[in-house]
Amino acid sequence: MSIATAAEIAERYARVQEEVGPAVTIVAATKYVSVEEMAALVEAEIAVVGENRAQDLERKHAAYGDAFRWHFIGHLQSNKAKVVNRTCELVHSVASESAASRLTVPALLEVNLSAEPTKSGVAPEEVARFVERFPRIRGLMTMPPLAPDPELSRPYFRRLRALAQELGLVELSMGSSQDYLVAAEEGATYVRPGEVLFSADRRG
């Protein structure tokens, strides 16, 4: 993916923030943004970025340091926890006890609400046990099945919110480029757009 100009990114970022409201934190998903291209995000004054891979997180953090607040949003292997602990203020994607036990930063528990075997995340019935055992978990995250209609994500977001409320958790990470508006309507405190902010092929 080639990325848009800094001015375009800033304009899109402001528009998304206006759409979701000031209570929602935009975590700009930078999986497909190269180390060099991250300079445009600095110029666009993006506040929070989310990385999917620990090795990319290390390289980008080494280059840009405190220019961003760093979140980790990809599958977290337990042997990469040290990297995340050094660089991130929040992990969105804890999905195993081994990873959770190695974290020293706050985290969200990834929940696989669709029971898709290809997706990470714990089953809904396991969430209460995880939250009780690991006090660093302060909220939940989910990724609904990819669908062309954002409304198809709504039942998953609604279920995650209900699950969080049952457990007294207030942080919800849900919604990416195709469904962040629905996620915000259903109570997301973090949304994770990427392409809608950065893609040079996406206009308007």
Q: What is the pLDDT of residues 107-166, one digit of tens each?
A: 999 999 988 777 789 999 999 999 999 999 999 999 999 888 999 999 999 999 999 999
Inside any domain, residue 71 = yes
| pLDDT tens-digit series, residues 64-109 | 999 999 999 999 999 999 999 999 999 999 999 999 999 999 999 9
Inside any domain, residue 99 = yes
- Range of the structural domain that residue 128 is part of: 6-198
Which pLDDT score is estimated for 109? 98
Inside any domain, residue 204 = no
- CA–CA distance, 168 with 165 (Å, rounded to integer): 5
- Four-CA torsion 74, 101, 24, 179, nearest 10 degrees: 40
Which CATH number goes with the domain that contains 113? Answer: 3.20.20.10
Helix (H, G, I), strand (E, B) or coil at 173: strand
Give the chain's domain count.
1
CB 96 within 8 A of CB 127: no
Task: State yes or no: pLDDT of 203 exceeds 60.
Answer: no
Inside any domain, residue 184 = yes
Task: State yes or no: pLDDT of 6 exceeds 60.
Answer: yes
Instruction: Phi first, then psi: give them for residue 114, nearest 5 degrees.
Output: -90, -5
Inside any domain, residue 1 = no
Inside any domain, residue 146 = yes
Which pLDDT score is estimated for 202? 62
Task: State yes or no: pLDDT of 183 exceeds 60.
Answer: yes
- For the segment 170-199, the average pLDDT, to the nearest whole number, is 97
Inside any domain, residue 203 = no
